[in-house]
Amino acid sequence: MIQTTLFPDTFRQSVSFSNDDVADIFEQVADLLAAQDDDFYRIRAYRRGARAVRSQIQLVTGIFEQEGTVGLEKLPHIGRKLALSIEEIAQTGELALLERLLIDVSPEDLFTTVPGIGQVLARRIYRKLGIDSLEALEQAAHDGTLTTLPGFGRGRIQLVQATLETMLNKSSHQRLKARRWQQEKPKLKPQRQPDQAAKPSIELLLEIDEQYRYLAKAGQLRMVTPRRFNPEGKRWLPVMQMNKDEWSFNVLFSNTARSHELNKTHDWVVVNYRHEEQQGQCTIVTETRGEQKGDRVVRGSAAIAA
What average pLDDT score do residues 247-253 get?
90
pLDDT value at residue 167: 79
Domain range for 156 is 105-165
Q: What is the pLDDT of residues 34-77, one digit of tens each?
A: 887 788 889 999 999 999 999 999 999 999 989 999 999 999 99
97 and 120 housed in the same domain: no
Report which of residues 10 and 186 the model is more confident about: 186
Q: What is the pLDDT of residues 110-165, one digit of tens each?
A: 888 888 898 899 999 998 998 888 888 888 888 889 999 999 999 999 999 888 88
227 and 278 housed in the same domain: yes
pLDDT value at residue 2: 31
DSSP symbol at 55: H
Across 15-19, 50-54, 142-146, 227-231, which has the greatest mean pLDDT?
A: 50-54
Asked whether residue 238 is assigned to any structural domain, the reply reads yes
95 and 134 housed in the same domain: no
CA distances from 86 to 24, 69, 91, 264, 265 (A): 12, 8, 9, 38, 35
Report which of residues 190 and 64 the model is more confident about: 64
Asked whether residue 170 is assigned to any structural domain, the reply reads no
Q: Is the pLDDT of residue 5 over 90?
A: no
d(CA 145, CA 129): 8
301 and 210 housed in the same domain: yes
pLDDT value at residue 70: 93
pLDDT value at residue 207: 94
d(CA 53, CA 77): 9
Ranges 7-21, 161-175, 199-213, 263-277: which has the least confidence? 7-21
CA distances from 76 to 43, 50, 80, 189 (A): 16, 11, 12, 30
113 and 95 housed in the same domain: no
Note the pTM of the prediction, 2 decimals: 0.49
Last residue of a domain, one of 145, 165, 185: 165
Asked whether residue 179 is assigned to any structural domain, the reply reads no
pLDDT band at 217 (very low <50, low <70, confident <90, very high): very high
The one-letter amino acid at 151:
G
pLDDT band at 104 (very low <50, low <70, confident <90, very high): confident
Question: Contact, 178 vs 88, CB < 8 A?
Answer: no
214 and 265 housed in the same domain: yes
pLDDT value at residue 143: 85
* Rounded to 5°, angle at Cα 216 from 213 and 222: 135
d(CA 10, CA 129): 52
Q: Is the pLDDT of residue 171 over 80?
A: no
pLDDT value at residue 107: 84
d(CA 289, CA 231): 33
Question: Contact, 23 vs 89, CB < 8 A?
Answer: no
154 and 71 housed in the same domain: no
> Could you tell me the CATH number of the domain that includes residue 158?
1.10.150.20
pLDDT band at 306 (very low <50, low <70, confident <90, very high): very low
Total domain count, the chain: 3
The proportion of the chain whose per-residue pLDDT surpasses 70, expressed as a percent, equals 81
Give Cβ neighbours of residue 257 (< 8 Å, ≥ 6 apart).
Answer: 229
Ranges 27-31, 124-128, 176-180: which has the least confidence? 176-180
pLDDT value at residue 8: 36
> Could you tell me the CATH number of the domain that includes residue 60?
1.10.150.110
Asked whether residue 196 is assigned to any structural domain, the reply reads no
Q: What is the pLDDT of residues 264-295, one digit of tens each?
A: 999 999 998 887 667 778 899 998 888 888 99
Give the chain's mean pLDDT: 81
